[in-house]
Amino acid sequence: MKRILIFGLFIAISMSISLPTLADDVDAPATGDLWDNWNTRQDEREAKPVSDEEFDKALKQVDQKVNKWKNWAEKRKIPKGEEFSQSNETEILNNEQEKSDNSLPVLTFPFELKIGEDYMPVGHYQIKGEKVDGQAVFKFYQGNIEMAQIPATETHDDFGEETITFSKWEAQGDNEIKIMYGSIDLNAYTYVPIREEF
């Protein structure tokens, strides 16, 4: 019973201590709160209505700016010539040709190659295949310097490559490698002996 009395007394005291909270009336004058005078700044301004002429003048100015940029864009358009369609393959070939003109495929040899009586040292070489006097040849470059020229055998085999311009080599036993090259103009291969260890 004591517990019920103490609990009831506690609730009564807490109810008497808390005061009710009342909101300000909207039509009543401000009570000094910061948010009550939010609209006073607009009251201080004089509201000047915009006339029809001023409104039309503002619209014309905006239209002139927009038209200025439209006219500028139309002047910069590339005139259309006759249209023709190309297949996707033609576009890919043209792009590959541009790339092949700019960069040649690179081969890395971790051994010296025997070319005639001379040896081509270990290194990275750009390779270019072309026909010279009707014979396919591989030209090896380091920078702009032609390091070697080797005769090759032309073929229609693409050596299982998916790219148009490529070069690679495969070991053919311990003393020889097969160098393969492919481009739009020429697919060819050659066998080159490796310098024997000394």
- Structural domain includes residue 120: yes
Can you give the pTM of this predicted structure?
A: 0.48
- Print the domain residue range for 135: 99-193
- Structural domain includes residue 88: no
Average pLDDT over residues 177-190: 89
- Structural domain includes residue 161: yes
What is the per-residue pLDDT across 90-123, written as a single tens digit (0 to 9) for each? 666 666 666 555 678 888 888 888 888 888 889 8
What is the per-residue pLDDT across 44-73, written as a single tens digit (0 to 9) for each? 555 677 888 988 998 888 888 777 767 766
Domain count, the chain: 1
- Structural domain includes residue 164: yes
- Structural domain includes residue 35: no
28 pLDDT above the threshold of 80: no
Residue 152's pLDDT band, with cuts at 50, 70 and 90, is very high
Looking at residue 38, its pLDDT comes to 56
What string of DSSP letters covers the chain? -HHHHHHHHHHHHHHHHSPP--PPPTTSPP-S-GGGGTTHHHHHS---PPPHHHHHHHHHHHHHHHHHHHHHHHHTSPPP-------HHHHHHHHHHHHHHH---EEEESSPEEETTEEEPSEEEEEEEEEETTEEEEEEEETTEEEEEEE-EE-S--TT-SSSSEEEEEE-SSSEEEEEEE-SS-EEEEEEEBPPP-
